[in-house]
A = this chain, B = another copy of it.
Amino acid sequence: MSTSDAKLLGLWASPFTTRVQMALKLKSVEFEFIQENLQNKSELLLKTNPVHKKVPVFIHDDKPICESLIIIQYIEDTWISGPSILPTDPYDRAIARFWAAYIDDKWFPLLKELGAAHGDEARTSIMEKIFEGLALLEEAFDKCSKGKGFFGEENVGYLDIALGCYLGWVKATEIMTGVKWLDETKTPGLVGWAERLCSDNAVKDVLPEAQKLVEHYKMSTPKEKSATA
């Protein structure tokens, strides 16, 4: 699909950027990727996202769209001839949106908190919450996938993207903490899902490598760690 007027302003290590890359790849939309430097934000970023000053920003026909889930919805609404990202049924769509919001607002922030936590007690408490969240997401996977391979049933969909974009960071925090978040006993559905997703064409080339993320995390400033949305 010819879309020379599509640009993505992002950061390779930002899961929110990965999310948009996945959606664009699913829809076979060609775009220019512009790597942002969060230590010295570009004029383009400040101009296109003056409210939050965060990546990703998707610029289509010179019009900027911010916030990753809103960008994905825009991509879905704009490239309607490509495969559907959201479920067709309004209720299934609402459920997908519910879990995507849960992941962004409740679950992923715990992984960030863990990085900043001091003391064994604080870390243990956060880790328990992360596992509780994964148990909920395992249940959600069972319901949404309807016995098939993805949250979007046969195909990678909205919730696969919403959660899948974090897989690089999930693995990176496993390396850094020594804790295995996904395992065959507690979250067998998600273990299989993660394997399938990481070999999917829309995902395998855009998901950052865990080891590179570990190095990036160790080198980045606290300000950078929170500068994506």
| Residue positions of A touching B, CB distance < 8 A | 51, 60, 63, 65-67, 70-71, 73-74, 77-78, 90-91, 93-95, 97-98, 101-102, 136
**Complex contact B67–A98 (CB within 8 A):** yes
Extra pairs beyond A65-B98, A73-B93, A78-B90 (12, CB < 8 Å): A51-B136, A65-B91, A66-B98, A67-B97, A70-B97, A70-B98, A70-B101, A71-B94, A74-B91, A74-B93, A74-B94, A77-B90
Q: State the oligomeric state as a number of copies.
A: 2
User: How distant is A137 from chain B, measured CB to nearest CB, in Å?
Assistant: 11
Q: What are the residues of chain B within 8 A of A93 when measuring CB–CB?
A: 73-74, 77
**Complex contact B51–A63 (CB within 8 A):** no
Specify the main secondary structure of chain A where it touches its partner. helix
Q: What are the residues of chain B within 8 A of A77 when measuring CB–CB?
A: 90, 93-94
Q: Within the assembled complex, what's the spacing in Å between the Cα atoms of A63 and B93?
A: 13
User: How distant is A130 from chain B, measured CB to nearest CB, in Å?
Assistant: 15
Which partner residue on chain B sits nearest A102 by CB separation? B51
User: How distant is A81 from chain B, measured CB to nearest CB, in Å?
Assistant: 14
User: How distant is A89 from chain B, measured CB to nearest CB, in Å?
Assistant: 9
Q: Within the assembled complex, what's the spacing in Å between the Cα atoms of A63 and B70?
A: 25
Q: What are the residues of chain B within 8 A of A67 when measuring CB–CB?
A: 97-98, 101
Q: Within the assembled complex, what's the spacing in Å between the Cα atoms of A77 and B92?
A: 11
**Complex contact A91–B73 (CB within 8 A):** no
